[in-house]
Amino acid sequence: MKRVCVFDVNETLLDLAALDPLFERVFGDASVRRLWFNQMLQSAFVATMTDAYTTFGEAAGAALRMTEERLGVEVSEDDRQEILGGLRDLPPHPEVPDSLDRLREAGFRLATLTNSTQEVAGAQIENAGLSDRFEQILSADTAKRLKPAPAPYRMAARALEIPERGMRLVAAHAWDVAGALRAGCAAAFVARQPFDPLVERPDVVGADLAEVADGIIAAEE
């Protein structure tokens, strides 16, 4: 039986580069968007590792203020809200819709699992025009633990009524792949950035979601 494909959302399906013009205007440098997102991940990971749960949205806001302080830039409240609100309106990477359609046509069940809250996750997928591709939109917030802790992956498997081994997490982050594998799931890596050599490499790796879809279809035949 084919594994259920469960997709990370931010950077895997949706393109955060759409925020670059906003960061260029506010900070004078589009590359600050990466600095901010990496700080957001660090803040979320610290909360997860210390059992001090925080939502991904709270981590995003804290990371933005830390980025402002680090760069010595005073950001207006309106600009701050525009940046944080922009996470809801990200476009999909160009190859994503067709790749999802090919997987569905090949008989795969599809769902998403994101660290964003349920409300934000639903808005992201709806605004990206992808809602009809997924049977469930799942949030780590339900487990009150953020990925890559094991709890969100296991929660997703329960929601989909499958064992962990029946789920394949598809992500553009090595830490997400690592979390899924440690939780007993399969995984696939979308290489939008280099893979961490300290992390176990999954059986499916591709340069974009189109290549990953090809690999998943071949692996599950």
pLDDT given at position 145: 93
Domain identity same for 134 and 51 = no
* Domain CATH for 122: 3.40.50.1000
Domain identity same for 132 and 162 = yes
Domain identity same for 80 and 183 = no
Q: Is residue 51 predicted with pLDDT exceeding 90?
A: no
- Of 52, 87, 122, the one marking the end of a domain is 87
Token representation of residue 120: 């934000």
Mean local confidence (pLDDT), 131-143: 97
Domain identity same for 96 and 183 = yes
Is residue 166 within 8 Å of 3, Cβ to Cβ?
Answer: yes
Spatial separation of the C-alpha atoms in residues 18 and 90, rounded to whole Å: 6
Question: What is the domain count for the chain?
Answer: 2
Is residue 170 within 8 Å of 188, Cβ to Cβ?
Answer: yes
Is residue 136 within 8 Å of 159, Cβ to Cβ?
Answer: yes
Q: How far is CA 87 from the centre of its chain?
A: 11
Longest dimension (CA), the chain: 54
* DSSP E strand boundaries for 57-190: 110-114, 136-139, 167-171, 186-190
Name the pTM for this structure: 0.95
Structural domain for 155, as ranges: 4-15+90-219
Q: In what order do the strands lie in the sheet with 136-139?
A: 136-139, 110-114, 4-7, 167-171, 186-190, 204-206
Q: How confident is the model at residue 1 (pLDDT cuts 50, 70, 90)?
A: confident
pLDDT tens across 3-44, in order? 999 999 999 999 999 999 999 999 999 999 999 999 999 999
pLDDT given at position 52: 86
Spatial separation of the C-alpha atoms in residues 95 and 150, rounded to whole Å: 29
- Of 26, 59, 87, the one marking the end of a domain is 87
Mean local confidence (pLDDT), 96-111: 98
